[in-house]
Structure 1
């Protein structure tokens, strides 16, 4: 059984565990120093915002997302749970609130790009760097109106 709830400060260790495992499984293009810097930023940032968690029947977080003004800033699922519909369910929750949802995907992460395109997102732009100016190109996506 999958349920959804907002995050609590006590969820931070599990959220970061999910983030680390997902990044290790999908972001092999990140330099170690950049990965460490991003992790440090998130340790300070996540406690300040409300994340939406996907939890199992025992209330254990399996994945999470962060939405800001109609933009999906973060979506991470425990790699042990990949392929079970958790990411898709989180995106559908986001779309229910923001039908014209946007998201940025690392260009070096083709599986994530394919995931969003399969869900009806289309490419609307590209950036040479990520939002912090690091050398990781982003592909900007928006949900197609007819999806």
Structure 2
């Protein structure tokens, strides 16, 4: 467990008892970052989050006073998902989660929707660089592959 800059927040490994709280965080953060995604695609991803993504990714939970407020899910050195309760944006929590994983894995990669006006600018400020743009066929949305300098390729 690692404490972040605020003494009441910490980052710890995911446990299955976190699932409902993380799905709730995902719901709120997804609605803010991805309003352009079709409702049926969002419903599909929500089910996959519970049944596939969280159980199989290396997931770290950010909690505040013992309550989950965000999470970062890793597949190798790629961020599969980074979601923070919007009520906690702008306090350095997203950076703290990425810093935590960089400390374990080194430079990272990520795919982010081009229209994600929350996540894409965050990754750019963090230092991720544009690699390529492609169509994410399941959603029909354009996506950017981004990486930190020195990140291993897929």
**Please, what TM-score do these two structures have when normalized by structure 1?**
0.90
- Alignment of 1:52 with 2:60, yes or no, is yes
Q: Which runs of 4+ in 1 moved over 6 A?
A: none
What are the Cα deviations for residues 66-116 of structure 1, in whole angstroms up to 9, with x where unaligned?
Answer: 111111111000011111111110011111122221011101113311111
2:83 maps to 76
2:33–2:116 Cα contact (<8 Å) kept: yes
- Alignment of 1:136 with 2:141, yes or no, is yes
Q: How do 1:4-15 and structure 2 match up within 5 A?
A: 4-15=11-22
Distance 2:107 2:22 in 1: 26
- Alignment of 1:122 with 2:129, yes or no, is yes
TM-fit CA distance, 1:40: 1.1
SS at match of 2:48: helix
Distance 1:71 1:110 in 2: 20
Distance 1:77 1:40 in 2: 19
Q: RMSD of the TM alignment (CA)?
A: 1.4
Aligned residues: 142
